[in-house]
Chains A and B, each alone.
Chain A
Amino acid sequence: MLTPEEWTAVVLSLKVAFWATFWSLPFALATAVVLARFDFPGKSLFDGIVYLPLVLPKVVVGYLLLITLGARGYLGQYLAEWFNIRLIFTTAGATVAAAVISFPLTVNAIRLALEAVDRGLETAARTLGASRLDVFLTITLPLMLPGILSGALLSIASALGEFGATITFVSNVEGQTRTIPLAIYSATHMPDGDAMAARLTAVSIVLALGALLLAGVADRQIRTLIGRA
């Protein structure tokens, strides 16, 4: 069905999407909590920076990543020197690009879910003897679960589709950074690449549909679990 080269792209895409979501989710949750529940000077600016990757051209985001995290970037040179971490041309770099691009979507989904949690329930829990942290862990977080799930799925979907920032930041290296979109892009530049592009497009559609169906099932399960059916 798929050639080894195509399989490599599919597996790589899934790996990048999974790890990008895995690593960005805790930060997205923390950011959503800060944005939804705290007030501090400079909040509007912070808010703007969080959503910046959503409105900037993806190529610009990729370029910014290149000059900060690249081999000679402001931070990148120290990453290489001190931790021996190299992001250029590597899967780790592709994961970073995908995480940065999907971050605002994830934050937004979680933030909406958090803002929908009835604060009266949190007050009730506190009168019953629960500390703020206790309330967050036992009341707020469980009630936000549908939002966290949809944030994670949005993150995976957007990571699977990431193109501009990835190709600008970590280039198009087979087995390292060539995810499905980059592979399709390459195929369209090959004289006999039409079949490959078509097969990878089909895989993309199957993955997207599968994710949507899975999301629906999981969402229903969680809503039953938390009594919001």
Chain B
Amino acid sequence: MIEIDIALARPGFALAATFTAPAAGVTALFGRSGAGKTTIIQAVAGVVRPDRGRIVVGGETYFDAARGIDLAVERRRAGYVFQDARLFPHMSVERNLRYGERRARGADAGIRFEAVVELLGIGHLLGRRPHTLSGGEKQRVAIGRALLSQPRLLLMDEPLAALDAARKAEILPYLERLRDETRLPILYVSHSMGEVLRLSDRVVALKEGRQVAEGPVAEVMSRADILPVIGRFDLGTVLDCTVTRHDEAYALSTLAFAGGELRVPRVEAPLGGAVRARVRARDVALALARPVDVSVSNLLPAVIEAITPGEGPYADVALAAGASRLAASVTRESVERLGLAPGLTVWAMIKSVAVDSRNADFTVPPEPSA
């Protein structure tokens, strides 16, 4: 387990974060740039020193301001994957990979060179120099180098941010394998909703150095109070679904969730597979009676739980559809015109095409961690 409770102040920036991360699985640090995500993992690595608080990883105290403990960077065994890879230019790929491995002698050598090379598919690169590698290859080597240092945890600082969409798609499956095949806690810094939904189990949402929310991904990403972190456009709910049908003729899939069914554009997942579907509040419309003759293919009966007038024209409507929560963003004017009020049963309309896989709304979530 990773316990983090730190605070620091620098000119123009203050950070306070308190959370725990499980002993295995991915915990995402999510927020826009300047939120303090990177500062947190730098503090865990020992590169940045908090003003107060403590950091404990797997029972070992890395930092404790009160007790004057500040373990040296090289003794923390925190595998750090930087956004810009930071491979040593004067060494071959193999020597880069061995750099941490050689210095981890004496540590429990649980992660073997051959296994890492196989996991990341970098066997053909071993003799090459870093400057001859593509961005995606560099990042895979950097991940391997961190793994071979026999780390107690992995710190990943937006490892995909510097890559184009094609390279991202190339690396994501490796990150999923990494998550599923190593029993390491991973702190994953990202500003991408899609990456967080796809890779992580838990999320810590940050805004300008302040921790806004923390908890399981589907829960946190469905909360209305993370609006300041993600912005109104992305506000919505995350539904844990199972694929029940593929309709090849129309290229649609049917997903079952606790509140009913969703018909959506074809999902690349097997029948019975688990996917996370993200429904933006702005893509949910409400009707008092079951609409007829509309193109919208998802009509779900739902009960209004709460209505919160937002800024400007908006009102946030919280809905219960069966056992699932949904959020709808409508105008305050509509609330008045339809006489929407808590307790009222309405029909929630979700356009299939609004839940578009291009926006990484569909993601294969991790195996539930034991």
Residues of A within 8 A of B130 (CB): 227
Contact, CB under 8 Å: A125 / B47: no
Residues A126-153 near B (CB distance < 8 A): 126-131, 134, 138-139, 142-143
CB distance from B35 to the nearest CB of A (A): 21
Residues of A within 8 A of B99 (CB): 125, 128, 130, 138
The one of B73, B82, B89, B91 that contacts A126, using a Cβ cutoff of 8 Å: B73
Q: How many Å lie between the Cα of A124 and that of B145 in the bound state? A: 10
As a 0/1 sequence over residues 101 to 135 of chain B, the CB contacts with chain A under 8 angstroms (1 = contact) are 00110000000000000000000000001110000
Q: How many Å lie between the Cα of A130 and that of B103 in the bound state? A: 7
Residues of B within 8 A of A121 (CB): 86, 88-89
Whether A228 sits at the interface, judged by CB under 8 Å, is: yes
Q: How many Å lie between the Cα of A104 and that of B75 in the bound state? A: 38
The one of A128, A138, A226 that contacts B89, using a Cβ cutoff of 8 Å: A226
Contact, CB under 8 Å: A127 / B73: yes
Whether B337 sits at the interface, judged by CB under 8 Å, is: no
Whether A195 sits at the interface, judged by CB under 8 Å, is: no
Whether B26 sits at the interface, judged by CB under 8 Å, is: no
Contact, CB under 8 Å: B90 / A129: no
The one of B47, B90, B149 that contacts A128, using a Cβ cutoff of 8 Å: B149
Contact, CB under 8 Å: A125 / B88: yes
Q: Which residue of A lies closest to B102 (CB)?
A: A129
Contact, CB under 8 Å: B89 / A227: yes
Whether B185 sits at the interface, judged by CB under 8 Å, is: no
Residues of B within 8 A of A44 (CB): none
Q: How many Å lie between the Cα of A24 and that of B286 in the bound state? A: 81
Whether B77 sits at the interface, judged by CB under 8 Å, is: yes
Residues B137-174 near A (CB distance < 8 A): 145-146, 149
Contact, CB under 8 Å: B90 / A126: no
Residues B41-79 near A (CB distance < 8 A): 45, 47, 72-79
Whether B3 sits at the interface, judged by CB under 8 Å, is: no
Whether B100 sits at the interface, judged by CB under 8 Å, is: yes
CB distance from A136 to the nearest CB of B (A): 13
Q: Which residue of A lies closest to B85 (CB)?
A: A124
Whether B84 sits at the interface, judged by CB under 8 Å, is: yes
Residues of A within 8 A of B88 (CB): 121, 124-125, 139
Contact, CB under 8 Å: B90 / A143: yes
Q: How many Å lie between the Cα of A118 and that of B89 in the bound state? A: 11
Residues of A within 8 A of B76 (CB): 127
Q: How many Å lie between the Cα of A49 and that of B240 in the bound state? A: 70
CB distance from B47 to the nearest CB of A (A): 6
Whether B80 sits at the interface, judged by CB under 8 Å, is: yes
Q: Which residue of B lies closest to A118 (CB)?
A: B86
Contact, CB under 8 Å: A143 / B89: yes
Whether A202 sits at the interface, judged by CB under 8 Å, is: no
Secondary structure of the A side of the interface?
helix
Contact, CB under 8 Å: B86 / A227: no
Contact, CB under 8 Å: B90 / A142: yes
Q: Which residue of A lies closest to B76 (CB)?
A: A127
Whether A217 sits at the interface, judged by CB under 8 Å, is: no
CB distance from A97 to the nearest CB of B (A): 36
Contact, CB under 8 Å: A127 / B79: yes
Residues of B within 8 A of A128 (CB): 74, 79, 99-100, 103, 145-146, 149
Q: How many Å lie between the Cα of A131 and that of B46 in the bound state? A: 13
Residues of B within 8 A of A229 (CB): 131
Q: Which residue of A lies closest to B92 (CB)?
A: A227
Q: How many Å lie between the Cα of A138 and that of B89 in the bound state? A: 12
CB distance from B98 to the nearest CB of A (A): 10
Q: How many Å lie between the Cα of A229 and that of B80 in the bound state? A: 27
Contact, CB under 8 Å: B100 / A129: yes
Q: How many Å lie between the Cα of A13 and that of B75 in the bound state? A: 51
Whether A116 sits at the interface, judged by CB under 8 Å, is: no
Residues of A within 8 A of B131 (CB): 227-229
CB distance from A193 to the nearest CB of B (A): 51
Which of A121, A124, A129, A143 is packed against the most chain B CB atoms within 10 Å? A129
Residues of B within 8 A of A138 (CB): 99
Contact, CB under 8 Å: A126 / B74: yes
Whether A68 sits at the interface, judged by CB under 8 Å, is: no
Whether A30 sits at the interface, judged by CB under 8 Å, is: no
Which 5 pairs between the two chains have the least Cβ-Cβ distance? A128-B100, A226-B90, A129-B103, A227-B89, A127-B80
Excluding A128-B103, A128-B149, A227-B89, 11 further A-B contacts by CB distance (< 8 Å) are A121-B88, A124-B80, A125-B99, A129-B74, A130-B99, A138-B99, A143-B89, A143-B90, A227-B130, A227-B131, A228-B131
A-B pairs with beta carbons under 8 Å apart, 26 shown: A121-B88, A121-B89, A124-B82, A124-B86, A126-B73, A126-B74, A127-B78, A127-B79, A127-B80, A127-B146, A128-B79, A128-B99, A128-B100, A128-B103, A128-B149, A129-B74, A129-B77, A130-B74, A131-B72, A131-B74, A134-B74, A226-B90, A227-B89, A227-B91, A227-B131, A228-B131
